[in-house]
Homo-oligomer: A and B are copies of this chain.
Amino acid sequence: MELRQLKYFVGVAEELHFGRAAQKLFVSQPALSQQIKLLEGEIGVELFVGIKRTQQRKVELTEAGAVFLTEAKRILQLSQKAIETARQVGAQQQVIKLGVFKLILPERIMAMLDLFSTHFPTLEINIVELPNTAQVQEYVANDRVDLGMTVLPLVYEGIVAKPYAEADYSILMNRNHPLATQMAVKLESLQQEKWIDHGREAGLFFGQIEEICRQANVNRESNIVQVVPSFDLLKSMVRLGKGIAFIPASLDLRQEPSLLSMPLINADGTPFKQIVIQHVLIHKSERPTPLTQALAGLVKTLVTPEH
């Protein structure tokens, strides 16, 4: 018997419907049928009614199943509590350093801190703001921080990324730019624009863009007027009207009155979704401390899995 099976059992027992329970538990319906049957086999007792459960339309608990349900819930609850108390005792004076890309929305950061604090109430979190995404990775790679909040892609080796959100691309431009009056722009209408870009060697999240531009017949590569090493510089260049740039739509520009993040749309007016930015929590892949591992393990709960 395993806790996973108990979770599945409680799920089915509460929904009284394998299909819905499967959705709630983020597994397929056959997986549930199988594990429930294994569990019944080990206990030696049918937990749900019917030799073949299809003989009556609705799934019902047997008497034994009902008894087992209360026990199963109790066990799951205790396991959770056991983890939490161990964390409180063990993480008593533990500190973690979190490197955050400066332009991540504060809401996102707060959500992450909330998540961490709920599971590790006594944990102390030090936040380090970093001006560009490469530096977040560099800090993680060199152990200057334990965890990093940034966006894909990765340029350093040996780093693990856990996605927790997605965001569209948009175009960063000066408020005085001719296109600034529009609500959104089509990629095709940017054929004559000048571009600011992070260097190819910096990689960052600009790798995938080339292909898309080629498809839209936008000759971006030869219209790059400036390659910059950091986001601060990129913003400065745009502020000075030197050109426009790709950025994640989710970046925080509220401190920048002269800049504008303009949504991209397709030729037919629908939102541009061909490529998206992955927001991720990152940490070193080799020899992470249990604490780092556990914190990274939490973020999967932020993702909204859909099927």
Do A45 and B81 touch (CB < 8 A)?
Answer: no
A96 to B, closest residue via Cβ = B44
User: Is A275 at the interface (CB under 8 A from chain B)?
Assistant: no
Q: Give the Cβ gap from A96 to chain B, nearest Cβ, in Å.
A: 10
In the assembled complex, which residues on chain B have CB atoms less than 8 Å from the CB atom of A41?
288, 290, 293-294, 297
User: Is A71 at the interface (CB under 8 A from chain B)?
Assistant: yes
Q: A3-B1, A64-B86 are in contact. Are A42 and B297 (CB under 8 A)?
A: yes
| A13-21, A72-80, A195-203, A205-213: which lies at the interface | A72-80
In the assembled complex, which residues on chain B have CB atoms less than 8 Å from the CB atom of A79?
1, 75
Oligomer: number of copies = 2
Q: A3-B3, A62-B90, A63-B89 are in contact. Are A83 and B42 (CB under 8 A)?
A: yes
Which of B47, B62, B71 sits near A85, CB closer than 8 Å? Answer: B71
Among A258-301, those with CB < 8 Å from B are: 288, 290-291, 293-295, 297
User: Is A31 at the interface (CB under 8 A from chain B)?
Assistant: no
In the assembled complex, which residues on chain B have CB atoms less than 8 Å from the CB atom of A71?
78, 81-82, 85-86
Q: Give the Cβ gap from A55 to chain B, nearest Cβ, in Å.
A: 15
User: Is A120 at the interface (CB under 8 A from chain B)?
Assistant: yes
Do A89 and B75 touch (CB < 8 A)?
Answer: no
Which of B4, B45, B290 sits near A90, CB closer than 8 Å? Answer: B45
Do A291 and B45 touch (CB < 8 A)?
Answer: yes
User: Is A111 at the interface (CB under 8 A from chain B)?
Assistant: no
Q: Give the Cβ gap from A40 to chain B, nearest Cβ, in Å.
A: 4
Which of B40, B44, B46, B83 sits near A1, CB closer than 8 Å? Answer: B83
In the assembled complex, which residues on chain B have CB atoms less than 8 Å from the CB atom of A64?
86-87, 89-90
Q: Give the Cβ gap from A113 to chain B, nearest Cβ, in Å.
A: 16
Do B75 and A90 touch (CB < 8 A)?
Answer: no
In the assembled complex, which residues on chain B have CB atoms less than 8 Å from the CB atom of A120?
44
26 contacts across the A-B interface (CB closer than 8 A):
A2-B2, A2-B3, A2-B4, A3-B3, A41-B288, A41-B290, A41-B297, A42-B293, A43-B83, A43-B86, A43-B294, A44-B90, A44-B293, A44-B295, A45-B87, A45-B91, A45-B291, A45-B294, A62-B90, A64-B87, A68-B82, A68-B85, A71-B85, A71-B86, A75-B78, A75-B82
Return the 6 tightest CB-CB contacts between A and B, nearest first. Answer: A44-B294, A45-B90, A64-B90, A71-B82, A41-B293, A68-B86
Point out residues on A near B: beta carbons under 8 Å: 1-4, 40-47, 62-65, 67-68, 71-72, 74-75, 78-79, 81-83, 85-87, 89-91, 119-120, 288, 290-291, 293-295, 297
